[in-house]
Amino acid sequence: MPVQALFKPFHLGALELPTRVVMAPMTRSFSPGGVPDSKVIEYYRRRAAAGVGLIITEGTTVGHIASNGYPNVPQFFGDAPLAGWKKVVDAVHAEGGKIVPQLWHVGSVRRIGTEPDASVPAYGPTEKLKDGQVVVHGMTKQDIQEVIAAFAQAAKDAQSMGMDGVEIHGAHGYLVDQFFWEGSNQRTDEYGGSLANRSRFAIELIQAVRAAVGEGFPIIFRFSQWKQQDYTARLVQTSEALGEFLKPLSDAGVDIFHCSTRRFWEPEFDGSDLNLAGWTRKLTGKPTITVGSVGLDGEFLQFMVNTDKVAQPASLENLLERLNKEEFDLVAVGRALLVDPDWALKVREGREQDILPFSREALMTLV
């Protein structure tokens, strides 16, 4: 199967990508004090130089007191972090690539003791107490507006520094996703109850980002059926319900849907071979990004624990067939690109035998 489909340009309004290869957002925790440094700049530059059309940065936290959940992840607020990101943008653009930040709030995943202010509890849709202590602060309507404003400001800052769009992290059991789920969203106001109501936070957030950046600046929205707390979870059970869920998000201003799955080749619903990205494109008419173990023979869950397993490069034939049929528009590559910055170049040149295998050690360094 010829690989040309991966290396055709993609156009959406003012966004012009040289290839269909996208670098998936992957938390790397190499930004002490929240500031991306020279190693981070070089990490992204190398991927752009080797033919990645669009880089989606690792999750980068918005300017809210409880947005962060992990040490050494980058911020997207404050003078020093934004100056660091500006250097990343310039380095990627110099190589002919495009880049968007993934804007992130971890929500109730945060633990007391986490930087930057160890005293701040998690913020989430619903309050949680443990041993009489508030471990998740149930967000008031003012809190909701403050978080929305933080995302809008981050998007504006991204636009000002020359980023090529933004991605809103609405997946994997973090804050935006926590509002979607009945189990984590027990609210009785207009942000709780039906899935339409539980989507209100995301819709208002997207609308605020759109208002902040104006028309024509691409907004990518990443969502998932599964959560990191439950890999078998399903937000919706049918294609009809998926359509009902996606339409308000699409209408609010999403330009591209990033459809997070663990294995891109798995059908989303019975009776069709379409994956989540395929169904989303069909239902919304918007471009989609597929993702999930592209280029590797072992999916990422195996590597969340200490293991000596190694994921070897895998055939792209199924992926290329689907891309040629226009089931989806763009292909996000995660671990294969994390371990081998030249992955796209090697695929393009037919040097699959030279692609590096992925092992857990790759997570320990930036290359």
Assess contact for 252 and 207: CB atoms under 8 A.
yes
Label residue 138 exposed, middle or buried (CB < 10 Å: 0-12, 13-18, 19+).
Answer: middle
Q: What is the dihedral of CA 94, 10, 322, 343, to 10 degrees?
A: -10
Asked if 43 is an active-site residue, the reply is: no
Q: Contact at 8 Å (CB) between 289 and 22?
A: yes
Structure tokens at 225: 């059926």
Per the CB < 8 A criterion, the answer to whether 100 and 88 are in contact is no
∠248-163-222 over CA atoms, to 5°?
35
Q: How far apart are CA 342 and CA 349, in angstroms?
A: 11
Beta strands (DSSP E) in 88-195 are 98-104, 122-124, 128-130, 133-138, 166-169
Contact 278, 242 (CB under 8 A): no
Tell me how far the alpha carbon of residue 1 is from its chain's centroid: 29
Residue given tokens 């109501």 in the structure block: 197
Say whether 262 sits in a helix, a strand or coil.
Answer: coil
Which of 123, 174, 191, 231 is an active site residue?
174
Beta-bridged to residue 310, according to DSSP, are: 359
Q: Which two tokens stand for residue 344?
A: 């796209």
Alpha-carbon Rg for the chain, nearest whole angstrom, is 19
Cα–Cα distance measured from residue 3 to residue 347, given in angstroms and rounded to the nearest whole number: 7
Which run of H or of E encompasses 311? strand 310-311
Q: Rounded distance, CA 237 to CA 306, Å?
A: 33
CA–CA distance, 340 with 245 (Å, rounded to integer): 36
Catalytic residues: 174
